[in-house]
Structure 1
Amino acid sequence: MTRTTPARPVPVEAVFPELAAHRGRTTRLHPRPGRPGMRESHVGGPMLWPAEEPWPVCREPHRPESEGYEPDAIRHARAAGVRPRSQPWRGSGTPGEDGPVPFMGLAQFFRRDIPALAAGPGSTDLVQIFRCPFHHGPHLTRRYHLRWRRAAETERAGRFLAPPPEVPMLRWEHELPEPCVLHPEEVDTYPWAEDDTLPAPLIARIDAWEDARTAEHGPDAPSYQYDLSIPPGWRVGGFPSWASTGPLPVDCESCATPMRLLLTAAGEEADAGSHSWVPLEDRDPSLRGKASIQGGRSVVEPTRLRFGRDRDLHVFTCPAGPGHPPQWVLS
Structure 2
Amino acid sequence: MTRTTPARPVSVEAVFPELAPYRARTTRLHPRPGRPGIRDSHIGGPMLWPADEPWPLCREPHRRETEGYAPEEIRGARAAGAWPPSRPWPTEETAADGGPAPFMGLAQLFRRDIPGLACGPDGADLVQLFRCPFTHGPYMERRYHLRRRQAARTERAEHFLAAPPRTPLLRWEDELPEPCVLHPEEVDTYPWAEDDTLPPSLIARIDAWDDAQAAEHGSDAPNYQYDLSIPPGWRVGGYPSWASTGPMAVTCAPCGMPMELLLTADGCETDGGSHSWAPREDRDPLLKGKASIRGGVSVTRPTRLRFGRDRDLHVFVCPKVPGHAPRWVLA
- Quote the residue 2:119 is aligned against: 119
2:108 is the counterpart of 1:108 = yes
Once residues 214 and 95 of structure 1 are traced to their aligned partners in structure 2, the CA distance between those partners, rounded to angstroms, is: 51
Equivalence map 1:176-187=2 (5 Å): 176-187=176-187
CA RMSD between the two structures: 1.1
Residue 109 of structure 1 aligns to a residue whose secondary structure is strand
Residue 262 of structure 1 aligns to a residue whose secondary structure is strand
Deviates more, 1:65-74 or 1:14-23: 65-74
TM normalised by structure 1 equals 0.98
* Deviation per residue, 1:4-49 (Å, 9 max, x gap): 0000011111100111111000000000000000001000000000
Residue 201 of structure 1 aligns to a residue whose secondary structure is helix
- Cα offset, 1:78, TM superposition: 1.6
* Deviation per residue, 1:223-247 (Å, 9 max, x gap): 0000000000000000000000000
Once residues 273 and 94 of structure 2 are traced to their aligned partners in structure 1, the CA distance between those partners, rounded to angstroms, is: 39
- Quote the residue 1:234 is aligned against: 234
2:222 is the counterpart of 1:222 = yes
Contact 1:65 1:93 in 2 (8 A): no
Q: Which amino acid aligns with 1:138?
A: P
Deviates more, 1:321-330 or 1:214-223: 214-223
Once residues 326 and 138 of structure 1 are traced to their aligned partners in structure 2, the CA distance between those partners, rounded to angstroms, is: 23
Contact 2:63 2:98 in 1 (8 A): no
- Quote the residue 1:133 is aligned against: 133
Change in CA separation of 1:93 and 1:161 when aligned onto 2, cut-off 3 Å:
closer
- Cα offset, 1:79, TM superposition: 2.3
Once residues 269 and 80 of structure 1 are traced to their aligned partners in structure 2, the CA distance between those partners, rounded to angstroms, is: 22
- Quote the residue 2:292 is aligned against: 292
Change in CA separation of 1:145 and 1:15 when aligned onto 2, cut-off 3 Å:
same
Unpaired runs of 5+ residues, structure 1, are: none
- Quote the residue 2:278 is aligned against: 278
Q: Count the aligned residue pairs.
A: 331
Residue 314 of structure 2 aligns to a residue whose secondary structure is strand
Contact 2:73 2:84 in 1 (8 A): yes
Equivalence map 1:49-88=2 (5 Å): 49-88=49-88
Deviates more, 1:241-250 or 1:57-66: 57-66
Residue 187 of structure 1 aligns to a residue whose secondary structure is strand
Q: Which amino acid aligns with 1:124?
A: A
- Cα offset, 1:304, TM superposition: 0.2
- Quote the residue 1:47 is aligned against: 47
Identity of aligned residues (%): 75
- Cα offset, 1:94, TM superposition: 7.1
2:29 is the counterpart of 1:35 = no
Once residues 282 and 96 of structure 2 are traced to their aligned partners in structure 1, the CA distance between those partners, rounded to angstroms, is: 41
Equivalence map 1:292-331=2 (5 Å): 292-331=292-331
Once residues 60 and 257 of structure 2 are traced to their aligned partners in structure 1, the CA distance between those partners, rounded to angstroms, is: 29
Contact 1:65 1:94 in 2 (8 A): no
